[in-house]
Each structure stands twice: as structure tokens, then as C-alpha cells.
């Protein structure tokens, strides 16, 4: 099972080590014993923006962890030396997201724009009203040249109605018909008892810091929440291109 082990292929990131007391190597090593006790598993580490802390991508998102593993900081670090603050944490996490997404390309449900200019990946839940609205407005995104690629994120967890529906979607021969039916709150006859990637998508989203749906991963790896109208989504994409 792939799970999140694909992160091992990212140059510059340290090894995954759930069962060991320390994760990383050299200057990036962090003692993970205390983190493991509170349910946080370190997937990778990299040099942090705070002296004495490493930046850790975990099963619960990104944190800054002291070298000895006894202190944890949740939040973003900004460079405020320029004209506008720069979110260093989001910039670093954006690169991680893009690399990790490469291992899930074959799992996505893709709605391609005929005249494609951009691609975005969206963590979606069939029971989410905003996700339903976004899907119903698919033509407006296509008109702007935006290809939509779905991954599953059952916001209520893997025991929720959304998880069961999403598993049924990814088990279906016609995934687009299944996801459209559920998002229109119509019945769909299908089974959720197959080998499907929904749990892996869910864990990937949690490691990205997804807490609700829809969560949109932009082409530069930044993540924006909510069902942004097509024009606003294009503006966000262009903002990344100009930076």
C-alpha cells in the first residue's frame, strides 16, 4: 500500500521513521518520541526557519519541532523584511505538496478543460454543500481554462457517510457518474467494498493541513480553502505566477 511513503522520493527530505525515536539525519534530526505519544507521526523533516527547530511534515500537517522533540510550534513563519510579508512556511509546504501529489496522479477524477491553461487539484467530499456548488459550476471553470482534478477527503472521517459515498465513487466503473449523483444528492447503486484509495487521500489531505472541503491545491502548490468562483480562482493562480 502506497500510503504516504512516496514522500521518500523527495530530494532534501529525510526518511520516514514511524517506529524509531528519531527522524531525519544530521542537522535535521528530531527526536519523535514525544510526538508519537500524542499521535503525531513525522513523515519528513527539513531545515526550519526558526533557530533550533526543524520543519516537520506530519500526518497532522506541518509543524516546527525543537531538535530535542520537546517543543512544538503550530503556525506560519513570515519574512517581514520586504515590502510585504512573505509566508515562508507556506512556500516550503507548497513544494512538498506538489511532490507528494505526483504519487496520486492515477487516482484522481479529472475534468479537463478543452482549452486548458491551468490545473488545480481539489480535495472534495460528496456531502459538502460547497463542494456540490463547485461541481455544479464546473462549466465556469472550464470556460476559464481550468482543469479540475479531484481527490477524496471525507471531512467527517473514515467512518462517515461521506467516506462511504467516496469509496463507492472510487469503486465505480463510471466514477464521474457516481460523484455527480452523490453531489446532486441522488441515489447511486454501487459498492464501497473494493480496494480503493480514499483512506490514502484522506491521510494525504491531513498531512497537507486540510481541515475542510473543498481545499484547492493551486499549480504552484499553495492551498486555498473554499469554493472560489472561477474568476477568483484564476486571480489566485496568477498571483502565484507573479511571485
For residues 96 and 18, what is the distance between their CA atoms, to the nearest angstrom? 19
pLDDT, residue 187, reads 87
pLDDT above 60: residue 10: no
pLDDT, residue 2, reads 52
| Choice between 22 and 19, residue whose per-residue pLDDT is larger | 22
2 catalytic per annotation: no
Choice among 67, 97, 125, 222 that is catalytic:
125
Of all residues in the chain, the percent with pLDDT exceeding 70 is 88
For residues 72 and 75, what is the distance between their CA atoms, to the nearest angstrom? 10
pLDDT above 90: residue 222: yes
What is the torsional sign of CA 131, 205, 234, 80? positive
171 catalytic per annotation: no
pLDDT bracket for residue 8 (50, 70, 90): very low
pLDDT above 70: residue 93: yes
- The arithmetic mean of pLDDT across residues 103-130, rounded, is 97
pLDDT, residue 23, reads 52
pLDDT, residue 22, reads 52
Choice among 31, 55, 107, 155 that is catalytic:
155
pLDDT in tens, 70-86: 999 999 999 999 998 98
Beta carbons of 195 and 106 less than 8 angstroms apart: no
Distance of CA 9 to the CA centre of its chain: 17
Choice among 128, 171, 220, 222 that is catalytic:
128
Q: Which range has the worst mean pLDDT, 28-37, 74-83, 121-130, 226-235?
A: 28-37
Looking at residue 102, the DSSP 8-state letter turns out to be G
Backbone angles phi, psi at 119, to 5 degrees: -125, 135
pLDDT above 60: residue 170: yes
107 catalytic per annotation: no
| Choice between 6 and 187, residue whose per-residue pLDDT is larger | 187
Choice among 55, 107, 131, 222 that is catalytic:
131
pLDDT bracket for residue 225 (50, 70, 90): very high
Q: 154-158: long-range contacts (C-beta < 8 A, 24 or more apart)?
A: 154/125, 154/198, 154/202, 155/125, 155/127, 155/128, 155/212, 155/213, 156/125, 156/127, 157/202, 158/198, 158/199, 158/202
pLDDT above 70: residue 20: no
Packing angle of the helix pair 175-183, 129-136 (nearest 10 deg) = 120
pLDDT, residue 67, reads 87
For residues 156 and 133, what is the distance between their CA atoms, to the nearest angstrom? 19
Amino acid at each position: 500500500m502506497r500510503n504516504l511513503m512516496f514522500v521518500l522520493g523527495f530530494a532534501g527530505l529525510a526518511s520516514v521513521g514511524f517506529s524509531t525515536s528519531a527522524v531525519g539525519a544530521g542537522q535535521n534530526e528530531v527526536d519523535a518520541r514525544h510526538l508519537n505519544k500524542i499521535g503525531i507521526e513525522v513523515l519528513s523533516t527539513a531545515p526550519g526557519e526558526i533557530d533550533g527547530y526543524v520543519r516537520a511534515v506530519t500526518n497532522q500537517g506541518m509543524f516546527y519541532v525543537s531538535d530535542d522533540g520537546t517543543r512544538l510550534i503550530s503556525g506560519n513563519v513570515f519574512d517581514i523584511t520586504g515590502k510585504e510579508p512573505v509566508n515562508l512556511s507556506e512556500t516550503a509546504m507548497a513544494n512538498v505538496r506538489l511532490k507528494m501529489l505526483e504519487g496520486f496522479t492515477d487516482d484522481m477524477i479529472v475534468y479537463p478543460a478543452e482549452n486548458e491553461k491551468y490545473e488545480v487539484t481539489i480535495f472534495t467530499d460528496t456531502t459538502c454543500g460547497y463542494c456540490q456548488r463547485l461541481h455544479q459550476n464546473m462549466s465556469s471553470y472550464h470556460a476559464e481554462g481550468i482543469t479540475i482534478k479531484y481527490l477524496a477527503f471525507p471531512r467527517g472521517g473514515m467512518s462517515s457517510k461521506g467516506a462511504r459515498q467516496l469509496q463507492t465513487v472510487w469503486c465505480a466503473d463510471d466514477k464521474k457518474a457516481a460523484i455527480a449523483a452523490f453531489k446532486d444528492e441522488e441515489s447511486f447503486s454501487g459498492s464501497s467494498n473494493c480496494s480503493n484509495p480514499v483512506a490514502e487521500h484522506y491521510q494525504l489531505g491531513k498531512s497537507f493541513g486540510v481541515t475542510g472541503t473543498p481545499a484547492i491545491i493551486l499549480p504552484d502548490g499553495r492551498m486555498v480553502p473554499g469554493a472560489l468562483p472561477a474568476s477568483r480562482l484564476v486571480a489566485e493562480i496568477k498571483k502565484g505566477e507573479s511571485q
